Structure 1
Amino acid sequence: MRAHGRGHGLRALSRWARCLAVAGLVAATAACSGPPPNPNPRAAVPLQTVPVDLQRYMGRWYVIANIPYFGERGNVGSYAEWSLRPDGRIDDAYVYRPERFDAPLKRMQFVDSVVAGSGGGEWRVRLFWPIYVSQLTLYVDPDYRVTLLGYPDKSLGWVFSRDPDMSDADYRAALGRFEAMGYDTSRFRRVPQFPSQLGQPGFQSPGDGN
């Protein structure tokens, strides 16, 4: 029993060490490759969330564009799937193909919590315990077909759509909303949802990022 307890303790310590290593890597990446200064004159204006009908908000959302970062850089055909749990939290799946459309689908699973008093517009996303990040809903259209998500310091942003394709006019309108909120919209790149979009101007490529 004593040996078994010691082995269990060593395995737990090993898991904790791996978590700390990943957290350290995230912190080091942010420190060494942070975003360039935001030239938008409204850069310092705090972001404001919008209220969200969580039942209508659930389901699949395709990633139309984002500010590339190491967690999503180079992925294609990506989308999020949100499902409301009985306890009020949200199962959050990020599904993608790495770099190529013939690559197998990969899936990352998170658990999100709605911040009290936010009207459903701010979520705490648990990457892994004890690391959480904030996700802000900055806009959702009346039909719940397009939504814009952001991060408090405006270093990250996403354009989501219920459809995998978005017209250039609608995309420009989405960037206009981000511009009005103080984002540096030159940093956004569209995410290929179809093979024909690979290599096209304005679309993310595997080497693109902060």
Structure 2
Amino acid sequence: MRRAVHAVGVSLLLAIAACAGAPPNPNPRANDFLVAVSIDLPRYMGRWYVIGNIPYLGEQDYVGTYTQWALRGDGKIMDAFVGRRYGFDQPVKGSFFIDTIVPNTRNGEWKVCFSWLACTTRRALYVDENYQYTIVGIPDKSLGWIMARDPEVSDEMYASLLSRLDALGFDISRFKRVPQQSGQIGKPGFQSPGKPE
């Protein structure tokens, strides 16, 4: 497990370096401060399917991905990232983290450590009243995620969530949908996994 966490930490550092070379964010609200929304932690826990994201190195080539959050007795959050690399015929793999809620953020901002070398914060930027859809991003807007309780999300709902990201100042042209079923691979707007090495 330590190797997996270390590998993800290294991947995150590489992703951060890659983001530094990314084209400038053309959104006119790119420099607006991201405010975390208030979160009801017990309702927010559980499985969230990754519907779309700006994929960083540790997420590239994955399909069927989801995150599973569970509240621990000490107030921290068990955080599992699960998916299949290169296709739905591949084995399920996962990475596991422990997240810490940042004080005075109404549970909306979490510190995530990928290894002892690499930590970041992510903010819950939107959650609907039924806790079926959420948007999460990191403060500099270089990474973001659209997640849902169900792996299938209509095109209309996806467009609505992208519109929220645009209003928040993200470069929505960088978002790609994550295949949650094999028939979505290769479709326009969806990520296409590479091949096993």
User: Which protein is bigger by CA-based radius of gyration?
Assistant: 1
Matched, 1:204 2:188: no
Unaligned runs of 5+ in 1: 1-14
For each residue in 1:91-131, what CA deviation from the matched residue of structure 2 results, as whole angstroms up to 9, or x when unmatched?
00000000110100001000000000000000001211242
**1:122 alignment counterpart:** 109
1:47 aligns with 2:34: yes
Partner Cα separation in structure 2 for residue 116 and residue 138 of structure 1: 16
Q: For the Cα contact (< 8 Å) 2:15–2:56, is it kept in 1?
A: no
Work out which of the residue numbers 152, 159, 172 in structure 2 matches 1:172: 159
SS for the counterpart of 1:87 is: coil
Equivalences for residues 41-80 of structure 1 within 5 A: 41-80=28-67
- Residue 17 of structure 2 aligns with which residue? 31
What amino acid does structure 2 have at the position aligned with 1:129? W
Q: Which residue of 2 aligns with 1:4?
A: none
TM-score (norm 1): 0.85
Structure 1 residue 206: deviation in Å?
Answer: 2.5
Aligned length: 190
Q: Report what 1:90 is aligned to.
A: 77
* Structure 1 residue aligned with 2:91: 104
3-state DSSP of counterpart to 1:30: helix
Residues 121-200 of structure 1 mapped to structure 2, 5 A cutoff: 121-200=108-187
TM-score, structure 2 as length reference: 0.90
Deviation of 1:35 after TM superposition, in Å, equals 2.0
After superposition, the CA RMSD in angstroms is 2.0
Q: Percent identity?
A: 52
Counterpart-to-counterpart distance in 2, 1:132 and 1:171: 29
Shift of 1:24: 6.7
SS at match of 1:171: helix
| 155-164 or 127-136: bigger deviation | 127-136
Q: Which amino acid aligns with 1:31?
A: A
State the Cα distance separating 1:26 from its structure 2 match: 4.7
> Cα offset for 1:31?
3.0
Gaps of 5+ in 2: none
Distance 1:64 1:24 in 2: 24
